[in-house]
Amino acid sequence: MTSSKLLPLSTEEHAAGNGLVSRRWLLRTGFPAAGAVGLSSGLVQAEELRVPDWSSSPGLDLTGYGQPSPFESEVVRPTLPLFPEGIGDGSGVSFTPLEKLAGTITPNGLFFERHHSGIPEIDPTAHQFAIHGLVERPLVFTVEALLRYPMVTKTCFIECAGNSLFNSFDEAQQRTAGEIHGLIGNAEWAGVSLAQLLDEAGVSPQGKWLVAEGADAAKMSRSIPIEKAMDGDAFIALYQNGERIRPEQGYPMRLVVPGWQGSMNVKWLRRIKVVSAPVYAKDETSKYTLLQKDGKSRQFTYEMGVKSVITSPSPGRELGAPGLYQISGLAWSGAGRITKVEVSADGGASWAEAMIPDQTSTRALTRFQLPWQWSGQSATLMSRATDEAGAVQPTREAWYEPYAANQLFHQNAIQVWAVSHDGGIRNVYV
């Protein structure tokens, strides 16, 4: 076996400017033959294969709860307290390190956090959840009681409305993809349909809205139109990626409203009150409104817009020698499925369509990939997602157009990474 040289691909395989390779090339060539273009450059002569120490004696013992390899100890959530010490205790965020992960599921220990008043330590045997207000039969549920209902399972993302806030600064901030766009996580949630519980309580005809409230000291509260529950979409999650929901994510139960802004997914859910009109809670008036240039504010902006980000290459995942790379990233939309992701390597002058291995998931993170023959020259990488509603991810300039200065919620603009000739990558605005 010899390591092969990086053969340049014929230009007919190029789908767009600056080295973007047609996604059809990968399908045609397949990976076994990919050695021809240098993917096998890491192979060694058979006689060079060592017998390492760990192959010569028994390894470690069994463990009760597995942990990642110690060699992965840098794969953690970067944290950001939002207030100086002593003020606003427990209010802060930690980011999902998007650039260090592959696939689409966010491991539970790396799921981003946003707490307004810390993580309450809830004893599940003492926790109560009530449905009351405009109902025939007010009901109180324990965890045990909820576990006797049929379970629904749904893989979906939860994204903070303030995600990507670092791209609302005037100067492009030099942070990783996760530190900019990582206020999002994607999990397989299992729990109980909210429609079923509301049916049991018997919603009266005047009941048009729900107010969901958490059991934390912040008592996060949000008004939710009742249709989001009645159409079967909303549920009370008890499990996250197969295990009981983590304390950070709302143990022992949280509301999940797929595709809608993070704050509506009330954690440590304590009660849902059926009301006739929105209550304008502090958490939906002091925040989560968008001031426009015309002086009017947008309120109740529930749905998260169509968005994507290239996670590899990205800051912290710099390029080595020129040659073939796989551009890979995540796309999502609160409106449903991702139907298309386009990638540009020349700052938007030309675009090529990326491969989306799984186009069926809805309101969930979707992976895209595209081969790229990097010449070793500077390049400007961008990705642009389209969802099933036909919405296309806007440029930063287009996103800001209707809004007054300093608005940051629901920022879903195209992320631009500038690749320099030495392989370094910077966040830039174009």
Ligand X SMILES: Nc1nc2c(c(=O)[nH]1)N[C@H]1C(S)=C(S)[C@@H](COP(=O)(O)O)O[C@H]1N2
Q: What is the closest distance, in whole angstroms, from the C-beta atom of residue 401 to Mo ion in the complex?
A: 24
Amino acid at 214: G
Of 13 and 213, which CB lies nearer to ligand X in the complex structure?
213
- Asked if residues 419 and 374 have their Cβ atoms less than 8 Å apart, the reply is yes
Best CA proximity match to 315, nearest among 169, 172, 166, 418:
418
- Asked if residues 312 and 369 have their Cβ atoms less than 8 Å apart, the reply is no
CB < 8 Å & 24+ apart, contacts of 347-353: 347/380, 347/382, 347/416, 347/430, 348/380, 348/382, 348/395, 348/414, 348/430, 349/17, 350/16, 350/17, 350/18, 350/20, 351/16, 351/384, 352/15, 352/16, 352/20, 352/21, 352/22, 352/23, 353/15, 353/23
152 binds, among ligand X, Mo ion, none (CB under 5 to 8 A by kind): none
Q: Which residue is nearest to ligand X (CB)?
A: 214
Residues 6+ apart with CB under 8 A from 182: 77, 78, 95, 96, 97, 98, 112, 163, 176
Q: Which stretch binds Mo ion (CB under 5 A): 24-32, 156-164, 302-310, 329-337?
A: 156-164
Q: What is the closest distance, in whole angstroms, from the C-beta atom of residue 44 to ligand X in the complex?
A: 43
Under rule CB under 5 A, residue 156 binds Mo ion: no
Under rule CB under 5 A, residue 23 binds Mo ion: no
Whole-number Å distance between alpha carbons of 245 and 260 = 19
Tokens matching residue 165: 């806030």
214 binds, among ligand X, Mo ion, none (CB under 5 to 8 A by kind): ligand X
Q: What is the closest distance, in whole angstroms, from the C-beta atom of residue 267 to ligand X in the complex?
A: 4
Q: What is the closest distance, in whole angstroms, from the C-beta atom of residue 393 to ligand X in the complex?
A: 20
Buried b (16+ CB within 10 A) or exposed e, 3-31: eeeeeebeeebbbbebbbbbbebbeebee
Of 89 and 318, which CB lies nearer to Mo ion in the complex structure?
89
Of 268 and 403, which CB lies nearer to ligand X in the complex structure?
268
Tokens matching residue 90: 């427990």
Print the binding letters for residues 85-124 with Mo ion: x by CB under 5 A, - otherwise.
-----------------------------x----------
Q: What is the closest distance, in whole angstroms, from the C-beta atom of residue 224 to ligand X in the complex?
A: 12
Q: What is the closest distance, in whole angstroms, from the C-beta atom of residue 66 to Mo ion in the complex?
A: 30
Q: Which stretch binds Mo ion (CB under 5 A): 13-21, 256-264, 281-289, 378-386?
A: 256-264
Of 233 and 248, which CB lies nearer to ligand X in the complex structure?
248
Under rule CB under 5 A, residue 265 binds Mo ion: no
Of 158 and 177, which CB lies nearer to ligand X in the complex structure?
158
Q: What is the closest distance, in whole angstroms, from the C-beta atom of residue 183 to ligand X in the complex?
A: 6
Q: What is the closest distance, in whole angstroms, from the C-beta atom of residue 9 to ligand X in the complex?
A: 41
Q: What is the closest distance, in whole angstroms, from the C-beta atom of residue 268 to ligand X in the complex?
A: 5
Give the single-character DSSP code of 13.
G
Q: Looking only at residues 340 through 379 of this chain, which bind Mo ion when binding is defined by CB under 5 A?
A: none
293-to-170, 311, 405, 406 alpha-carbon distances in Å: 17, 33, 8, 11
Of 272 and 327, which CB lies nearer to ligand X in the complex structure?
272
Strand (E) or helix (H) holding 230: helix 227-230
Under rule CB under 5 A, residue 262 binds Mo ion: yes
273 binds, among ligand X, Mo ion, none (CB under 5 to 8 A by kind): none
Of 185 and 305, which CB lies nearer to ligand X in the complex structure?
185
Residues in contact with ligand X by the rule CB under 6 A: 111-116, 158, 160, 185, 214, 216, 218, 220, 248-249, 262-263, 265-268
Tokens matching residue 429: 């605005």
Residue recorded with tokens 């998931």? 361
Of 304 and 385, which CB lies nearer to Mo ion in the complex structure?
304
Instruction: Kindly list the strands in the beta sheet with 14-16, ordered across the sheet, starting from the edge strand earlier in the chain.
Output: 14-16, 20-21, 366-374, 323-332, 307-312
Under rule CB under 5 A, residue 160 binds Mo ion: yes
Cα 45-48-53 angle, rounded to 5 deg: 145
Under rule CB under 5 A, residue 263 binds Mo ion: yes
Whole-number Å distance between alpha carbons of 296 and 64 = 55
Of 119 and 418, which CB lies nearer to ligand X in the complex structure?
119
Name the residues that contact Mo ion, by CB under 5 A: 114, 160, 262-263
